[in-house]
Amino acid sequence: MIMLKEFKEFIMKGNILDLAVAVIIGAAFKTVISSFVNDILMPPIGMALGGVDFSDLRYTIQEASDGVEAVAINYGAFTQTLIDFLIIAFVIFMVLKAYNSMQKKKEEAPAAPPAPSNEEVLLGEIRDLLKK
């Protein structure tokens, strides 16, 4: 029973929940980036390279024969995965760079001076009256 209570406290910590949300959003972001690369980015690149479909690029080590599938190195699929990774890494870099610059601006922003106390206000009024 004690272990269950400790586990519940561990799960309910803010960092764990933040991490879980980040993983879920990251997985969704990966599918968006994969679609962007596969459906938008790679077709024009393939067309520019002479109609090459990157997912079909492979080096065949052994041809298929007698019900045995071909053995091939699919470097085209790897290229698309590498481009996915680079785009995701760049976007995360830009997000972190923007976050760090916002944090730096918060630190650099001077705090507003505190409002004068009642004693200071009264002393200022007395000074102004004495000047008259």
Question: Domains of the chain (ranges plus CATH)?
Answer: 2-131 (1.10.1200.120)
Distance separating alpha carbons of residues 64 and 73, to the nearest angstrom: 14
Quick one: DSSP state of residue 109? S
Q: Which tens digit of pLDDT belongs to each residue from 65-94?
A: 888 888 889 888 888 888 888 888 888 888
**What pLDDT was estimated at residue 76?**
85
Q: Helix, strand or coil for residue 71?
A: strand
Taking CA atoms, 52 is separated from 7, 16, 39, in Å, by: 52, 44, 14
Could you tell me if 102 and 94 are in contact, meaning their C-beta atoms sit under 8 angstroms apart?
A: no
Judging by DSSP bridges, how do beta strands 71-73 and 59-62 pair with one another?
antiparallel
**DSSP secondary structure, 6-61, as one string:** HHHHHHTSHHHHHHHHHHHHHHHHHHHHHHIIIIIIHHHHHHHTTS--GGG--EEE
Overall average pLDDT of the 18-46 stretch: 83
**What pLDDT was estimated at residue 60?**
87
CA angle 105, 96, 12 (to 5 degrees): 100
**What pLDDT was estimated at residue 109?**
67
**What pLDDT was estimated at residue 14?**
64
Q: Which tens digit of pLDDT belongs to each residue from 91-130?
A: 888 888 888 888 887 777 677 778 888 888 888 888 988 8
